[in-house]
């Protein structure tokens, strides 16, 4: 057994898992579409490890995510679409192109003299280069190219950011908060009307406005909600623990008592 395995070893392992002669039955039946849920799950596990500063396990989670890329590369090679080397080549070329202040020659190993540039200029140049890339792909609209498969909160933030870059934005957060209050009123009216379709539409408008608040605070709405989810889970766990000491379940007590235990957990 080797002391340290490499990316090449990982690629070879993947080819053996997909080998029709003696490979893994589960891996052999997978397709591009079938492993997408695993890819999303692994990406979130990486995000969670970082947010919890669980660096002891982060390298393992990153490995799981890398395996997803290797899996797609194997499928691409088998079907004649692309292979791992093409993935790497395309990525390096794109990053060189998007960092002209670091690679002004346009060549990774060329005669590069790094230029002095601040972070805001880097971001501005990055967006200009990405806009040119989108135009080259035939994406003409400001919002073209924002992946429809993104989590809804993340996609909302990206759509809002794109619109903001062309001036469609509130100048101050006060206007955003006022919009949230307006959407709450409209949701109340929709609920009172008894029209479920209208209520769902107004709920979406409210969530979209809340994402805008996060964007104006320079916060990731997905990360904020994940943190809130963890907090809720911890507090509800404390409520259940307090009840368990009395041999009770949440369903055994009144809402008022649950609320009292909740307030104690918050403290």
Contact 151, 207 (CB under 8 A): no
More confident residue, 166 or 184: 184
What mean pLDDT value characterizes the chain?
92
Q: Which of 26-30, 86-90, 129-133, 143-147 has the lowest mean pLDDT?
A: 129-133
Residue 199, CA distances (Å) to 176, 185, 204, 207, 208 in order: 21, 11, 9, 12, 14
Q: What percent of the chain has pLDDT over 70?
A: 99
Q: What is the mean predicted confidence (pLDDT) over 103-125?
A: 78
Confidence of residue 4 (pLDDT cuts 50, 70, 90): very high
Contact 214, 177 (CB under 8 A): no
Contact 74, 30 (CB under 8 A): no
Q: What is the mean predicted confidence (pLDDT) over 89-97?
A: 93
Contact 77, 12 (CB under 8 A): no
> Judging by beta carbons within 10 Å of its beta carbon (0-12, 13-18, 19+), is residue 170 exposed, middle or buried?
middle
Q: What is the mean predicted confidence (pLDDT) over 175-191?
A: 97
* Predicted local distance difference test score (pLDDT) of residue 129: 80
More confident residue, 118 or 189: 189
Please check the confidence at residue 114 and state whether its pLDDT lies above 70. no
Of 2.30.110.20, 1.10.10.10, 1.10.287.1080, 3.40.50.300, the CATH number of 156-219 is 1.10.287.1080
Between the ranges 16-20, 49-53, 101-105, where is the mean pLDDT highest? Answer: 16-20
* Predicted local distance difference test score (pLDDT) of residue 116: 73
At residue 160, φ and ψ (nearest 5 deg) are -65, -40
Domain 1-82, second-level architecture = Orthogonal Bundle (1.10)
The 10s digit of each residue's pLDDT in 228-251 is 999 999 999 999 999 999 999 999
The 10s digit of each residue's pLDDT in 147-173 is 888 889 999 999 999 999 889 999 999
């Amino acid at each position: 057994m080797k002391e340290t395995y490499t990316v090449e070893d990982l690629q070879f392992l993947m080819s053996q898992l997909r080998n029709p002669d003696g490979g893994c039955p589960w891996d052999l039946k997978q397709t591009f579409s079938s492993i997408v849920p695993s890819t999303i799950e692994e990406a979130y596990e990486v995000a969670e490890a970082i947010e919890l500063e669980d660096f002891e396990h982060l390298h393992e989670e990153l490995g799981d995510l890398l395996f997803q890329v290797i899996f797609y590369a194997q499928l691409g090679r088998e079907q004649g679409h692309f292979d791992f080397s093409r993935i790497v080549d395309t990525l390096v070329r794109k990053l060189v192109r998007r960092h002209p202040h670091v690679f002004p020659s346009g060549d990774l190993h060329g005669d590069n003299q790094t230029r002095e540039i601040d972070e805001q200029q880097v971001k501005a140049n990055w967006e200009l280069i990405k806009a040119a890339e989108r135009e080259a792909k035939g994406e003409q609209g400001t919002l073209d190219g924002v992946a429809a498969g993104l989590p809804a909160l993340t996609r909302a933030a990206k759509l809002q950011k794109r619109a903001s870059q062309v001036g469609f934005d509130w100048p101050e957060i006060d206007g955003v908060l006022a919009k949230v209050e307006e959407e709450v009123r409209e949701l109340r009216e929709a609920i009172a009307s008894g029209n479920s379709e209208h209520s769902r539409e107004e709920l979406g408008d409210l969530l979209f406005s809340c994402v805008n608040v996060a964007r104006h605070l320079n916060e990731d709405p997905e990360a904020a909600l994940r943190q809130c989810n963890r907090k809720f889970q911890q507090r509800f766990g404390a409520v259940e623990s307090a009840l368990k000491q009395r041999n009770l379940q949440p369903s055994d007590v009144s809402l008022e008592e649950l609320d009292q235990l909740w307030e104690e957990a918050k403290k």
